[in-house]
Amino acid sequence: MILVFGGTTEGRMAAKVLDESGATYYYSTHSTFQDVNLAHGIRLSGAMEPEQIRSLCAKNDIRLIVDASHPFAENLHRNVVESARQAKVPVIRLNRIFPPRDPDIVWCDDYNDAINRLEEHGIEKLLALTGVNTIGRLKDYWCRHECWFRILDRDSSREATAVVGFPQDHLVYYETHDIAPLLRELRPSAIITKESGVSGGFQEKVEAAWNAGVKVFAVKCPEYPSVEGVEICHVNGPYGLRRAVERLLPEFFSLHSGLTTGTCATASAVAATRQLLTGAKPSAVPVILPDGETIHVPVNYGTDYASVFKVAGDDPDVTDGIEIRAKVELSDKFEIRGGEGVGTFTLPGFDYPPGEPAINKAPRQMMRDNIRENVAITISVPQGGEIARRTFNPRLGIEGGISIIGVSGIVKPFSEEAFIDSIRKCMQVAKASGSGRVVINSGGKSERFVKTIYPDLPRQAFVEYGNYIGETLKIADELEFPKVTLGVMLGKAVKLAAGNLDTHSRRATMDKEFISGMLREAGIDIDISEITLARELWKTIPEEKLQAFASVVIHHCEHHCAPLFPKGDLKVLLITDEGKIYH
């Protein structure tokens, strides 16, 4: 069991990640104000002292704590770490993403330091955005100077200000991160805020103040406590959280995530750059993912390169276990090259023109975001040429090796997102081939049959949709294909005819009652109660009635598909196991 301390944006993030497992966990907040959807979490409310945390851990077999509380919740952080020490459980600290500390901001170590710095700079009128619990800490300042505090519009917050004697007519209320209206109204000479990170709107507050010509003071985020004997894993995003849970409590997720080839290439490049510039060879390097979070990736070293052995997790991937290397050399500009085993684009439709190494836009941007020096990076995959023959690459016009890809940087097991991304890329290549028609099929078998109808179409005009018929048609509409042919075999067709645009067995099953209705619509009176597979219908229905049945199925499929492809010509082909095609 996992215990989460939430009540923040990061708390919601933690709940979303943990809910993906389907396993139960506890979600604790200080108050009941936060609205959070828990699919499998048990909500706990109210402050907990260390003894209460320890008791909860003991009674409920808590084996991992996720601290997703506010960065400035120092008492809670100490209680969590001390309780974890006594309960002998690890802690994952899910923190926020923090932008680099800008030297134009006046950074304060704590609130006493903030008072001193405000005095040093002669600030006479201050807008404080540090929250109601800090009013008492700044009392030595606001007793002598004009100060406005922004707080939440709650009776409990107003009562707290009254206790410390703060003037009620100098309270303003929190509405959004946008403080520009307050700055125009109050005209302070400075604001003071906490280093609250990206999700806390820190950057928006700073930019609004600077745009108004107002000086910015910021109280630094306190360091998270460390206690001997407690393993504390620091993460700052959903992917890092999931990977940490998979490592510390492997059984919580039945399927584990992996890394994209793009992340592996980036980690190799980061390590090789460090090796070149400093001689350092750390066993793992930080990699900033496209969403801004940072994960740490284990790396290895050769004579003049660094490498990562890709771990795909439980996602079926032919690239699992391959070595992705990076060799880095000093250069007068930042450059990415393709080496052994990295394919080359030979057709239009990709992020880069024919002749460029098959390293997509997202991985290139990851390398640029992670490596600021001017270096030439050569990515190579020793097994890439062999592996590429078992991928879609030859069909896409990528020759000589694999492609380095990855949009998010992380591969979720059996990821729908990754599969749909691959469909989109195939559709873009089909569009770039110049074909006015794209033929979408569930797999190689149906495609082989349909090719006999369209022998003159280029290879790239045939795209597999797997189970994602609806998503593929949406992509065809976005790319403005004039014509789409949908090839479908009966097992998927009866699901599609019933309105299931995703035909995966976990989402849609054969509906015998609906099929019986289609049979009646076709004027066919037979008992199908004993069939277990849709394809048995081809032998159960009288031969002279097959066209009538096929026409009804196609009509229902078109009814559900046409709205997703409203501007183009859609043709549905129903295919038998022997290759006969009805339309």
Q: In angstroms, how far is CA 412 from the centroid of its own chain?
A: 9
Distances (CA, A) of 466 to 298, 402, 573: 33, 21, 16
Q: Which has the higher per-residue pLDDT, 31 or 227?
A: 227
Between CA 444 and CA 448 the distance in angstroms is: 6
Backbone torsion region of residue 391, taken as left when φ is above 0, otherwise alpha when ψ lies between -120 and 50, otherwise beta: beta
Say if residue 365's pLDDT is above 70: yes
Q: Provide the residue count of the chain.
A: 583
Beta bridge partners of 524: none
Residue 563, pLDDT score: 93
Does the domain spanning 2-97+226-252 belong to CATH 3.40.50.720? Answer: yes
Given a cut of 70, whether residue 351 has pLDDT beyond it is yes
Nearest to 80 by CA among 99, 70, 67: 67
Instruction: Give the model's pLDDT for residue 308.
Output: 95
Residues of the chain with CATH 3.30.2110.10: 258-411
Task: Give yes or no for residue 34 having a pLDDT over 70.
Answer: no
pLDDT digits (tens, 9 = 90+) for 98-155: 999 999 999 999 999 999 999 999 999 999 999 888 999 999 999 999 999 998 888 8
> In Å, what is the CA distance from 267 to each residue of 15, 277, 369, 401?
28, 15, 12, 20
pLDDT at 77 over 90: yes
Eight-state DSSP code of residue 357: B
For helices 469-478 and 546-561, the axis angle rounded to 10 degrees is 60
Contact indicator for 280, 299 with CB cutoff of 8 Å: no
DSSP 485-514: EEEEEHHHHHHHHTT-SB--TTT----HHH
- In this prediction, residue 350 carries a pLDDT of 75
Start-end of CATH 3.40.50.620 domains in the chain: 106-219
CA angle 35, 38, 40 (to 5 degrees): 165
Whether residue 217 has pLDDT greater than 80: yes
Parts of the chain belonging to CATH 3.40.1050: 420-582
pLDDT at res. 306: 95
Mean model confidence pLDDT for the chain? 89
Top CATH class, 420-582: alpha beta
pLDDT score, position 445: 78
- The answer to whether 225 touches 50, Cβ cutoff 8 Å, is no
Note the pLDDT of residue 19: 87
The class level of CATH for 258-411 reads alpha beta
Q: Residue range 440-465: average pLDDT?
A: 87
**pLDDT, position 319:** 80
Which segments of the chain belong to CATH 3.40.50.720?
Answer: 2-97+226-252
* Dist. CA 553–CA 518, nearest whole Å: 7
In whole angstroms, what separates CA 74 from the centre of its chain?
Answer: 29
Mean pLDDT (whole number) for 274-282: 92
What CA–CA distance (Å, rounded) separates 258 from 462? 29
pLDDT the model gives residue 152: 84
pLDDT at 370 over 70: yes
Q: Is 177 helix (H, G, I), strand (E, B) or coil?
A: coil
pLDDT above 90 for 578: no
Which residue carries 């085993």 as its tokens? 341
pLDDT greater at residue 176 or residue 221: 221
Of residues 198 and 177, more confidence is placed in 198
Q: Which has the higher per-residue pLDDT, 348 or 543?
A: 543
Concatenated DSSP letters for 43-82? EEES---HHHHHHHHHHTT--EEEE-S-TT-HHHHHHHHH
Q: Tell me, what's the pLDDT at 23?
A: 85
How far is it, in rounded angstroms, from Cα 252 to Cα 25? 10
Query: Residue range 17-33: average pLDDT?
Result: 84
DSSP string, 529-551: TT--SGGGHHHHS-GGGHHHHHH
Handedness of CA 453, 458, 463, 464 (dihedral sign): positive
Task: Say how far apart CA 90 and CA 227 lie, in whole Å.
Answer: 11
Query: Per-residue DSSP letters for 405-439?
Result: --SSSEE-TT-HHHHHHHHHHHHHHHHHTT-SEEE
Q: Residue 543, class by beta-carbon neighbours within 10 Å (0-12 exposed, 13-18 middle, 19+ buried)?
A: exposed
Pick the CATH number of 106-219 from 3.40.50.620, 3.20.20.480, 3.30.1490.70, 3.40.50.10090: 3.40.50.620
pLDDT in tens, 499-539: 998 876 556 778 889 999 999 999 999 988 878 778 889 98
> What is the structure's pLDDT at 41?
86
Show the CA angle centred on residue 485, arms to residues 483 and 486, nearest 5°. 140
What percent of the chain clears pLDDT 70, i.e. is strictly above it?
A: 97
Query: How much of the chain, in percent, has pLDDT values that exceed 90?
Result: 54
Residues whose CB falls within 8 Å of the CB of residue 385, separated by 6 or more in sequence, listed in order: 340, 341, 400, 401
Picking from 85, 20, 82, the residue whose alpha carbon sits closest to that of residue 239 is: 20
Say what the pLDDT of residue 66 is.
Answer: 96
- Cβ atoms within 10 Å, residue 163: 10
Sorting pLDDT into bands at 50, 70 and 90, what band is 467? confident
Please report the pLDDT score of residue 414 as a whole number. 61
**Which residue carries 């001017």 as its tokens?**
374
The yes-or-no verdict on residue 418 having pLDDT over 70 is no
N-to-C CA span, the chain: 54
Q: Which residues contact 210 (CB under 8 A, 6 or more apart)?
A: 104, 216
Give the mean model confidence (pLDDT) for residues 54-71.
Answer: 91
> Alpha-carbon torsion 286, 289, 294, 299, what sign?
negative
The per-residue pLDDT for 32 is: 65
